[in-house]
Structure 1
């Protein structure tokens, strides 16, 4: 819970009573590798904070191809926030790439913080903006060659490369797993 509070305090000031309220509204959970935090076809009902582990945002094309859009590592907020706020059905998945420890807020508890804590909304808005930016950040530029895309991935996500399945990295880069293996072999 302390990592969450440290994260929140980057975006604004809160007193001890407000911090205690946030802690009381949150729940710590574990999400096993490959389990979903939120799924396509459902309305997202929670906001999470990654304490430990890696989650990926992904979707399926009309042809059934799985595409990894982003990775969310430790000390980041995660949610399908547009659909969470709109109470709308999602077309994306948030799936654990590793075993994860999360701090989670239900929709009701998340909204209560806005009603109770004076000054929460500007803090929340900054956190949500960062969350949405990270989720929408464009994947590698497909016009680049695959090796360049992989090198940029390693630069942008240095702590992830040995923690997540290569199939997810390949999906993110827009290459086959075999191509990714060749690229990795060639740059060693």
Structure 2
């Protein structure tokens, strides 16, 4: 259960076995059914979630009921609402399981305590946060591109998991209609061909 996470940690820092054990002991396993929420709009996010199996999407719902997917997360990825977590304010996002999903959750207060006990973890989470910031910068740039360019970038970033996502969720992520997505998919020369 913890092997995937420890491999992820090892990409950034060296964590000796006693520190690994302390870290793993601080984590709670949570299993989600398809469509079950990890976080709902209006709740205050208090945890970081490492996805061990399955997948989730992070999205907001507009006042007119439209959903805007801002992020997908699958195995070997961290997911949270960083703004809600840091400011202790209600989330504007939902994080929902796309399929049966298992996460390791880490409460923010527990993490702060771990930073004192295992200082290397602060370096690890700093690196994870840097990766997250880089991803959000790319997401902002992506939204300024044409629909075709957004789709090509999506295939580059999420190509291996495209088949695990519904057309509706992909279209929501790209900011296009399902009809536009169908046209984009049918164009010759796309990356996945």
Question: What's the TM-score once normalised by structure 1's chain length?
Answer: 0.88
Q: Paired residue for 1:165?
A: 166
> SS at 1:138's partner residue?
helix
CA 1:79 to 1:57, structure 2 compared with 1: closer, same or farther past 3 Å?
A: same
Contact kept in structure 2, 1:4 and 1:49, CA below 8 Å: yes
* 1:46 matched residue in structure 2: 47
How far, CA to CA, are the matches of 1:39 and 1:137 in structure 2? 25
For the aligned residue pairs, the C-alpha RMSD in angstroms reads 2.0
CA distance in 2, matches of 1:48, 1:113: 16
Q: In structure 2, list runs of 5 or more residues that go unmatched.
A: none
Distance 1:136 1:79, change over 3 A: farther
Once residues 70 and 14 of structure 2 are traced to their aligned partners in structure 1, the CA distance between those partners, rounded to angstroms, is 32
Deviations 1:75-101 (A, max 9, x none): 111111232122221111222222212
Question: Which sections of structure 1, spanning at least 5 residues, go unmatched?
Answer: none
The answer to whether the 8 Å contact 1:38/1:94 transfers is: yes
Whether 2:34 is the aligned partner of 1:30: answer: no
Q: Distance in 2 between matches of 1:87 and 1:76?
A: 23
Match of 1:141 in 2: 143
TM-score by length of 2: 0.86
Size of the alignment, in residue pairs?
Answer: 187
Contact 1:47 1:104 in 2 (8 A): yes
- Shift, 1:22, TM fit: 0.6
The 3-state SS of whatever aligns with 1:180 is: helix
Q: 1:42 to 1:185 in 2, by over 3 A?
A: same
Q: Write out aligned runs for 1:74-93 (5 A).
A: 74-93=75-94
Partners of 2:82 and 2:145 in 1: CA distance: 30
**Equivalent residue for 1:151?**
152
Q: Report SS of the residue matched to 1:114.
A: helix
